[in-house]
């Protein structure tokens, strides 16, 4: 994910840091393993198959869903 945010689009950059970075309060995109690491609660992009506890504090939740039937049913 980190590499993708640096390279796409090829001439662009999405500013991001890990949630424990000293720059977290100044950066629009944070990468974290757990929701309690996130100080902001505007949008959550969930890349896990599980719905994380505490997701309801976010204004919106975006989930990536695969194309296979078993992934869609999960």
Q: How many whole angstroms separate alpha carbon 16 and alpha carbon 36?
A: 18
For residue 36 the two structure tokens come to 């309690």
Average the pLDDT over 48-72 and give the result. Answer: 82
pTM of the model: 0.68
Q: What mean pLDDT do residues 48-62 have?
A: 88
Position 61 confidence tier, pLDDT thresholds 50, 70, 90: very high
Check if the beta carbon of residue 5 is closer than 8 Å to that of residue 27.
no
Residue 64, token pair as written in the block: 């990536």
Beta bridge partners of 11: none
In the chain, what are the domain boundaries? 2-73
């Amino acid at each position: 994910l980190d590499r993708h945010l640096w390279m796409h689009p090829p001439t662009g950059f999405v500013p991001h840091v890990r949630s424990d970075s000293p720059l977290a309060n100044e950066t629009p995109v944070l990468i974290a393993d757990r929701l309690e690491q996130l100080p902001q609660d505007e949008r959550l992009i969930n890349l896990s198959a599980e719905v994380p506890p505490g997701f309801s504090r976010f204004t919106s939740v975006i989930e990536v869903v695969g194309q296979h039937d078993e992934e869609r049913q999960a």
